Amino acid sequence: MASTNKTTHLRLNNWIESDKPKRADFVADNTIIDSVLGTHINDSDLHLTLIEKARVSNPYSISLEYGTGSATETYNAGFEPKMAIIFKVTSPVVRDINGYPSVSMAIATTKGSTGGATLSGSTLTVKQSTTSENGVLYNLNENNAAYVIVFFK
Residues 6 or more apart from 153 whose CB is under 8 A from it? 54, 55, 58, 59, 60, 61, 79, 81, 82
Helical residues (DSSP H) of the chain, grouped into ranges: 23-41, 50-57
Contact 72, 106 (CB under 8 A): no
- Give 127-139 pLDDT, tens digit per residue: 999 999 989 999 9
| C-alpha pair distances (Å), 110 with each of 44, 57, 153 | 24, 21, 11
Please report, for the chain, the start and end positions of each structural domain, with discontinuous segments joined by +: 5-41, 56-152
- Give 46-98 pLDDT, tens digit per residue: 888 887 887 778 889 999 999 999 999 999 999 999 999 999 999 999 999 98
> What's the pTM?
0.68
User: Which helix or strand (DSSP H or E) is residue 49 part of?
Assistant: none
Task: Place 33 in a pLDDT band, splitting at 50, 70 and 90.
Answer: very high
Distance, in Å, from the CA atom of 88 to the CA atom of 60, rounded to the nearest integer, reads 18
Average pLDDT (106-132) is 96
pLDDT, position 94: 95
**Which position has the higher pLDDT, 113 or 3?**
113
Helix (H, G, I), strand (E, B) or coil at 128: strand
